[in-house]
Amino acid sequence: MIGGIFFLPIEQFAYFIGFIVTVAAWEWANLSGYTSPAVRIAYAAVMALSVLVTGYFMHSDPELHVTVLAAGAAWWLIACLLVIQYPKKVSLWQAKPVRAVLGFFVLIPMWVGFMTLKSQEHSALIIVYVMLLIWGADTGAYFAGKTWGNAKLAPNVSPGKSWAGFWGGLATTGLIAIIFSVCVNQWLRPMSVDDFTLLAIITFITAIISVMGDLVESMMKRHRGIKDSSQLLPGHGGVLDRIDSMASAVPVFAFFMMFLGWQLAA
C-alpha cells in the first residue's frame, strides 16, 4: 500500500485501488448472502465496471467526485444508526439485493476518495496521514480497551470493542494530528490556527467514522454467520477485514477536506 502511494502515478494508482475494490467486492457478495462462485465473480465484475465508469465520468464532470463522496458520507451516517440499533431494524437491510447495493456505497466512494486525495498536491503525505489516523485509532483503541475496557461500545455487534477503546483511539488520532501539524509547520508550510482547527475537525470526524467501518463489517459478518470475509490473507482473514476502516475513513476525510476547503498546499 505504501509503495503504491509513493511510487505509482495517478493512473496506475487508480487501477491498483480498483483491483483492491474488485477483490473486496467478491468478498462483499458473500457478506450479502450470495455463495455461488459465479454470482460472486459477476458481482465483482460489475463493481470493477462501475469503477471504470465512475472514473470515465469524473474526467468529464469535475464535480462528480464530490457527489459520490457526499453519498458515501451520508451512507456512513446511516450506518451509525444501523449499528447502534442492531439487531433492531435488520429488516431494512437483511435482503440480499439490499446488502449487495450497499456494497457500492461502501466501495465506490472509497475508490473515489483515494483518487481525490491522490490528485491533491502533496498527495502522498495526505494519504499517509489518513492511513496513520486509521492505524493510530486501531492501536490506541486496542491498548486502551485492554487496560480499561469494561463498558462495551456495541456488544450486539462486536463484543470486544469498548468505550475506553473508542476514546483511546480518538486520543491517539488527536496526538497524530498535533505531531503532523508540527511537522508540516516545521518543514512544509506555516500552519495557522485556522489550518489546525480545520484539520482537527476533519481528523476527529474521520476517526469516529473509521470505527463505523469496522463495526458495519462486523455487523454484516455476524448477520451472515461468518468470522472472516474470506481466507485470502492467511492469518488475517480477507481483504475487507483489512480495509474496513479504510473504506469509511478515506471517503469521509476526502469529502470534508473538499467541503471545508482544507488543503496541505500553501
pLDDT tens per residue across span 10-24: 999 999 999 999 999
How many alpha carbons lie under 13 Å from residue 148 in its C-beta half-sphere? 10
Domains of the chain, by residue range, sit at 2-260
Residue 227 pLDDT level (bands cut at 50, 70, 90): confident
- Helix (H/G/I), strand (E/B), else coil: 153: strand
Measured distance CA(211)–CA(205) in Å, rounded: 10
Residue 95 pLDDT level (bands cut at 50, 70, 90): very high
Which grid coordinates are listed for 67? 457527489
Residue 6's pLDDT is 82
Cβ atoms 243, 188 nearer than 8 A: no
Q: Say which residue, 215 or 228, is predicted with more confidence.
A: 215
Measured distance CA(171)–CA(133) in Å, rounded: 11
Residue 238's pLDDT is 87
The yes-or-no verdict on residue 236 having pLDDT over 80 is no
Residue 160's pLDDT is 84
Average pLDDT value over all residues in the chain: 91
Q: Say which residue, 180 or 151, is predicted with more confidence.
A: 180
- Arithmetic mean of pLDDT, 77-106: 92
Residue 155's pLDDT is 85
User: What pairing do the DSSP bridges indicate for beta strands 152-154 and 158-162?
Assistant: antiparallel
**Phi and psi (nearest 5°) for 158?**
-145, 90
pTM: 0.94
Q: Give Dmax over CA atoms of the chain in angstroms.
A: 55
DSSP the chain: -HHHHHHS-HHHHHHHHHHHHHHHHHHHHHHTT---HHHHHHHHHHHHHHHHHHHHHHHH-TTHHHHHHHHHHHHHHHHHHHHHHTTTTGGGT-SHHHHHHHHHHHHHHHHHHHHHHHTSTTHHHHHHHHHHHHHHHHHHHHHHHHHH--SEEETTTEEEEEHHHHHHHHHHHHHHHHHHHHHHHHHT----HHHHHHHHHHHHHHHHHHHHHHHHHHHHHHHHT-SSS-SSBTTTB-HHHHHHHHHHHHHHHHHHHHHHT--S--
Residue 32's pLDDT is 93
- Arithmetic mean of pLDDT, 130-145: 91
Residue 179's pLDDT is 96
Measured distance CA(61)–CA(57) in Å, rounded: 6
Residue 119's pLDDT is 93
The yes-or-no verdict on residue 98 having pLDDT over 90 is yes
